[in-house]
Amino acid sequence: MSSKSGPIYEVTFFVEPDIADECDSWLEDHVRKVMHEPGVVDCNIFSLGNDEQGRARRVVQHLLQNNEALDDFLEGAGTDIEGQLETRFGDQVALSSRVLREDRSPATIPGSSTDCLNCGTHLRGQYCGSCGQRSRGRLISLWELLTDAFGDLLEIDSRLWQTLIPMMVRPGRLTHDYLQGRRARYMPPFRMYLVLSVLFFVVAFFEPREQLGLLFEPEPELSSEEATSDALDQKQAILDELAADGIVIGSELTEEIEALEDVGEEFNAGFRIDTDEDGDCEVDVTDLEDLPDWLARRLTVERLQRICERTQIDGGKAFLDKLLDNVPAALIILLPLMALVLKALYPLSKRYYVEHLLFFVHFHAFFFLILSLQILFMRLSALLQIPETIAIITVVIASFYVPAYLFVAMRRVYGQGRIITFIKYIALVISYCLGFFATMLGAVAIAAFSI
């Protein structure tokens, strides 16, 4: 065999003993012809012992110049081998083939351990063949830590961008490829779902002045005289606006406004705010009589009154915080429920339940991403002073993209026609709305009883 490096196309022949000599003659003729093929560097025959079935084994190795020559050979002379054998010998000769390439990696990496520091497997090359960990020294630099942390964000061909871009512009592509076995190029589905859901809740509900109040100086509070003057200015501005629209405030209404001011009521932006701290938290017992017994034992009058009083103390802030804490869990519960709906809508698809679940994991990940982009766009448009009308129209168009995305994804993944997919799409949307309402109602109930 030639010492030149290049891919080797190896074919193993399993020959019945009574035609072994005839097959050897054919193989020699095959080698002479192949040597005249472009891109073939060398070709040799090797005889091996008989296999378990007593068949003679012959191995022919075709050495090619490079990968392009290998592709040309496989499309040309390489495809004729099996056909010629079947024509000449029928089923008396079987064959198998494979492509061999030279291992150019050194046995060990200079300066590194000969064994994987993670699993102990002997290393050949810069990655462990067992667990995949990179071979490196025990000491790593700060730059390596930053690269490990943000490499997927900075590398244009990383799995992050290979996942997000198809997910945004090609509905159903991720699910379809994943089910077809093309998975290594994409981020794992549940990891992507968790990352994008955390991103959404941070973008939507993170308030720097509230969460990081220590970093901001307190805003100066208005004195009582300034507060009263500010309220009167707001009231007068509203009255002037009404007058400009042709709406005249009568003397009776004006007297009523002045009387309310004397009582101590405040006007803020034209709305009346009740400052009475003794709110009515009385619960009508008759409203609880028709509840199921298991629910009535939990929704007691005393418990409902306590929830009402606690909510009034802080204006519902504690309740809202608890609700926001429960929303991610409610959405996770919604996923398997919707997967059951898809399982019912596609009973003849021969897909497992987890495949339907995967569809909704990808859809929810897309939904979180589009919502995050909408919120960031609205905030950026305000910062850049983009006209509000343009910003709103852009967000509305993006919102219409979500239901269209779901329909196209259903067609791509399940492969049915437009009409039948549209019928199932309507059923899925109705079920989704009901499921969303039910899970959010559960989140509200849990938040209310946990404050």
Q: What is the pTM of this model?
A: 0.55
232, pLDDT greater than 70: no
66-75 LR contacts (CB < 8 Å, sep 24+): 66/6, 66/7, 66/39, 67/7, 68/39, 69/6, 69/38, 69/39, 69/40, 70/7, 70/9, 70/39, 70/99, 72/38, 72/39, 73/9, 73/37, 73/39, 73/40, 74/9
22, pLDDT greater than 60: yes
**Interval 241-255 mean pLDDT:** 58
pLDDT tens, residue by residue, 162-188: 888 889 989 999 998 888 888 877 888
Task: Name the band, by pLDDT with cuts 50, 70 and 90, for residue 155.
Answer: low
User: Could you state, in order of their start, the residue ranges of all structural domains in the chain?
Assistant: 8-100, 156-214+314-451, 224-275
In which order are the strands placed within the sheet that holds 40-48? 40-48, 56-64, 8-15, 93-100
Output the pLDDT for position 431. Answer: 94
For the chain, the distance separating the N- and C-terminal CA atoms, rounded to the nearest angstrom, is: 80
pLDDT tens, residue by residue, 249-279: 555 455 555 554 444 444 333 334 333 444 5
Class of domain 8-100: alpha beta
